[in-house]
Chains A and B, each alone.
Chain A
Amino acid sequence: MLTVLLILIPFIAGLIAFGLKGSGPKVLGMIASLASVATAIGTVCTLQADPKKLSFVTNWIPQLGSQFRVGLDGMGTMLCLLTAIAFLLVFITIYNRDIERPNSFYGLMLLSQAGLVGVFTAFDALQFYVFWELALIPVYFLCSMWGGEKRIPVTFKFFVYTFLGSLLMLVGIIYLYFQTPDHSFSWTSFTSLQLSMGDQKWLFWLFFVAFAIKMPVFPFHTWQPDTYEQSPTPVTMILSGVMVKMGLFGVLRWLVPVLPEGASMWTDVAIVLSIIGIIYASCIAMVQSDLKRLIAYSSIAHIGLMSAAIFAHNEQGTQGVLLQMFNHGINIIGLWIIVEVIQNRLGIKNMDQLGGMARKAPRMAIFLVIISLANIGLPLTNGFIGEFLMFSGLFQYNHWFMAFAGLGIILAAVYTLNMIQKVIFGEGNTLTDTTTDLQPGETVALSLVVIIIFVLGVYPQPMLDLVSKAF
């Protein structure tokens, strides 16, 4: 039942939020996200004690053999926890901001949370598909209504891209459904399918394209930098912190177990695409002067590494990916919070116009340095262990791949340090002199991020134990 609660809390709160006025929506958002975090922690405890309790099955469309089937394994629990924490961080950060039409904003945010949790808990393919789409729609409205100047065409491109991908996946799901002996959509029926090589060969692409667009993997990434740049920053946090994980999650839950031979047949192609993405995105990130675009490209590079490690098909690589999914989510949200603060104070996000922030906003500068370093995977921060495991997984598969992917790390250091230098050091200007340091809400959110960074950096074992619990 806890699992259903995870979906229901944000869903119901979201619906109520539409009808509230004044500061009602943000208070409700805060309460709902706190309740979600508490429930998510509850699921973590239940998973240790009695994993069976987390499953819930009821009839949905009996004629089709589709059931409402939710459940949680280590990966799902970890992602639900990430989702809950991400939304809490977002809501804390923007608590004191003035948002136009707050009721719609918070309502849509909470609905997207419900959609995301639905994706991570679904064990029925049709239900997975429905939530996959549902998570997208509120985000579409959020970006188009509160975004930057070019928001409408950019968000629309994002929507059409992902919609096309998901339709292809739908074709794949229906095809698999007809192959199951009992005509069922359940995950266990799908994974116990014995498909011929010929089928797996092309089915792989129907699923892979859908997930690759979401992650995004080169060459399906073109929607991403524009969308991240144009979206309102709170939504960008959700997009890059949680939504891109849907793609990785899809590969891990629905692609590799269902089409194992297809996945191993196309491994090299998938890894090469991912590695091209890493290097390409890192190179572009180095020459970006827009802060949001820089982080967007760095995100493509990080996701590329995770996707490559998944297809390396070994224990270490997969564990690294699972760990990194959580840590990347936390770190990148930390970075976005700082971008949000800069934008809020100065109204700009171009690095060339920034500088000397360390003097005026020392606390923010410290946080930025710590989170940036965690983002490039410095030892003792949470980014390190995941990257280490992923590289070691890739190395076992093919050391050349590992070498090229490793270039990404070096490039990441280059553009991240460059960014730090431009933003917080150097000469200030008349604009940056007007900046003020963090407000209490922002400090709380960033402190939470930094605490997670250090705790999981020094002692990652609990998280490793959590994610390795298979269904």
Chain B
Amino acid sequence: MNALISTALSGVFLMFVGLFVRNKQHIKFFAIAAIIISFIANLALYPTVQLGGYIQFGMIEVSKFSVLFNAVALGATLIYFLLSGSEFEKVGEHVGDYFALIFFILAGVSLASSFSNLLMLFLAIEIMSIPQYVLAGADRKSLKSNEASLKYFLMGSFSTGILLMGIALIYGAAGTFNITELGLGADPVHPLALCGIILMAFALAFKVSAVPFHFWTPDVYDGSPTVFTSFMATVVKAGGFVAFLRMFHVAFAGGAISHHWTLILSIITAATLILGNFSAVFQQSVKRMLAYSSIAQAGFMLFAVIAINQFATQGIVLYAAAYSLATIGVFAVLLKLKDYTFEGFNGLARKQPLLALATTIFLFSLAGIPVTAGFFAKYFVLSAAIQHGHLLWLVIVGVLCAAISVYYYFRVIMAMYFKQGDPEVEPVSGGFKAALVLTIILVLALGLFPNLLIGCL
């Protein structure tokens, strides 16, 4: 609740800051201050929910899970601002607006982690999506950016429509919007409820770019200004997942109905894993590779949605943190390079050892290699699926795909360390390096002691 209020207010505040403050560096400092305040305001709720959550106005549930997830989202955004905040001004004039839009997205994310009413879910998804359409087209002079924005807007509105239809059908079956009282588990399954769930699953799958609803992802991620792709692929995607997870864990779990959607979601998951990983292998540009890698990683996060248990809830928080930190980090390094192809990384280790080391650790984390946060993230979602009992085939598909993912992540490492070259790198400031080291420390700390985060759950 605090996160929602503070991020929404910060958004409004930054719009005004953008009007009155000319110095772009100062705007960035205001944004960083605002995100830190939101982060603290959000954590201030933690003591009150330690023993159990409560529902406010019948709309929003304040619980340990939502507080912790918001902390992850806000913390990742803080890292994002520290690493890439200076890149905003290269996109266009309206730096204040960009920051404001990011805060509005965060308001949507914090709503997605805590809704207890279908109306709030709808609002969360819309608040998250609309600023993104704007950000995708922020580079007004670039045709690709315009295309990305339009494509995203058309496809996004369409899927929102489907979501709304699903909500309407579920309302028809249950007679309430309150997700804890839907009671859809009865046997035989209400046909309206089943249709509603399927429509909602499809719409949410679109938002998290699961196959076969992923077609927008590579184009949008590739076309948008890189600095915004970084945010869209991480925090926003995690927000989509948390909505997905809450919906299915709270509202649709239990009873006969789970059998129906488990199979559908399993197939979507397997397709996402296979297609995402295989497509990423064939990319020539690191930015596009990261777009497909985000699809592939979505496959792993879907494990947590399907398997309804404690490991899944812990897993999604950890996965969101690990994946966001690593991807934001890789994008931050990518932004410093002129050439986005794999060859553009050739010889980076000689020229910028710290950047190369950081990228290596982030890619290890994405590949799920121990002692990085990504390992325990994968560990938790795999555990969730194994504990579920009937998903072992999916787990095997998952680990095979994880082995494939090593291929494209390691191509970057090979280019940096084992190939000769002289990459063009923009000057790197001391602040950037410090932020990079902080990110490395966080990734390693979560990789060694995941209980720092999940212990709070």
Residue positions of A touching B, CB distance < 8 A = 60-64, 129-130, 133-134, 137, 141, 144-145, 151-152, 156, 159-160, 163-164, 167-168, 170-171, 174-175, 177-178
Shortest C-beta distance, B364 to chain A (Å), equals 8
Chain A residues near B407 (CB-CB < 8 A): 156, 160
Contact, CB under 8 Å: A145 / B451: no
Which residues of B line the A interface, CB within 8 A? 364, 369-371, 375, 379, 382-383, 386-387, 392, 395-396, 399-400, 402-403, 406-407, 410, 414, 417-419, 449-451, 454-455
B399 near A144: Cβ-Cβ < 8 Å: no
CB within 8 Å for A167 and B414 given contacts A61-B449, A61-B450: no
B383 to chain A, nearest CB (A): 5
A129 near B382 with CB under 8 A, answer no
Contact A129 to B414, CB < 8 A, known contacts A164-B400, A164-B403, A174-B386: no
Residues B414 and A156 in contact, CB atoms below 8 Å apart = yes
Q: In the complex, which residue of chain B has the Cβ closest to the Cβ of A136?
A: B369
Give 19 new A-B contacts, CB below 8 A, not counting A145-B418, A163-B403, A164-B403. A60-B449, A61-B449, A62-B451, A63-B454, A64-B451, A133-B369, A137-B369, A141-B417, A144-B417, A159-B410, A160-B406, A163-B369, A164-B400, A168-B399, A170-B379, A171-B395, A171-B399, A174-B383, A175-B386
Of all chain B residues, the one with the shortest Cβ separation from A60 is: B449
Neighbouring B residues of A160 by C-beta, 8 Å: 403, 406-407
Q: State A459–B449 Cα separation when bound (angstroms).
A: 47
Measured in the bound complex, the distance between the Cα atoms of B320 and A148 in whole Å is 40
CA distance A316 to B417 in the complex (A): 47
Asked, given contacts A130-B370, A174-B386, A175-B386, whether A159 binds B451 with beta carbons under 8 Å apart, the answer is: no
Q: Chain A residues near B364 (CB, 8 Å)?
A: 137
The answer to whether A145 touches B417, judged by C-beta atoms less than 8 angstroms apart, is yes
DSSP majority for the B interface? helix
**What are the residues of chain A within 8 A of B455 when measuring CB–CB?**
63
Contact (Cβ within 8 A) B410 A156:
yes
Q: Which residues of A contact B451 (CB under 8 A)?
A: 61-64
B418 near A144 with CB under 8 A, answer yes
A167/B418 in contact, CB under 8 A: no
The verdict on A174 contacting B403 (CB below 8 Å), with A134-B371, A137-B369 known, is no
Most A C-beta atoms less than 10 A away, residue of B382, B399, B400, B454? B399
> Contact: B400 with A170, CB < 8 Å?
no
What is the predominant secondary structure among interface residues of chain A facing chain B? helix
List, sorted by A's number, 17 A–B pairs whose CB atoms are closer than 8 Å: A60-B449, A61-B449, A61-B450, A63-B455, A144-B414, A145-B417, A152-B419, A159-B410, A160-B407, A163-B369, A163-B403, A163-B406, A164-B399, A171-B399, A174-B379, A174-B383, A178-B387
Assembly CA distance A129 to B371 (angstroms) = 11
Instruction: Return chain A residues, CB-CB under 8 Å to B395.
Output: 171
Q: Name the distance in Å between A433's Cβ and chain B's nearest Cβ.
A: 36
CA distance A163 to B419 in the complex (A): 23
Residues in chain B near residue A151, CB distance under 8 A: 418
**B387/A167 in contact, CB under 8 A:** no
A129 lies within 8 A of B370 (CB) = yes
A167 to B369, CA, bound (A): 10
| CB closest chain-B residue, reference A59 | B451
The one of A62, A130, A159, A167 that contacts B399, using a Cβ cutoff of 8 Å: A167
Give me the 10 closest cross-chain CB pairs, A-B, nearest first. A164-B403, A167-B399, A130-B370, A133-B370, A144-B418, A174-B386, A174-B383, A61-B451, A63-B451, A152-B418
Pair A167/B403 contact, Cβ less than 8 Å: yes
Determine the distance from Cα of A129 to Cα of B450 in the docked complex, in whole angstroms.
16
The CA of A156 and the CA of B409, in the complex, are separated in Å by: 12
Min CB distance A303 to B, Å, is 23
Q: Shortest CB–CB separation between residue A115 and chain B, in angstroms?
A: 10
B453–chain A nearest beta-carbon distance, Å: 11
Most buried by B among A64, A130, A133, A152: A64
Q: Complex Cα distance A164/B386, Å? A: 18
Residues in A with CB closer than 8 Å to B371 are 130, 134
Shortest A61–chain B CB gap in Å is: 5
Chain A residue nearest to B448 in the complex (CB): A60
Bound CA–CA A60/B371 (angstroms):
13
Contacts of A62 in B (CB 8 A): 451
Beta-carbon contact of B406 and A159 below 8 Å:
yes
Whole-angstrom distance between the Cβ of B381 and the nearest chain A Cβ: 11
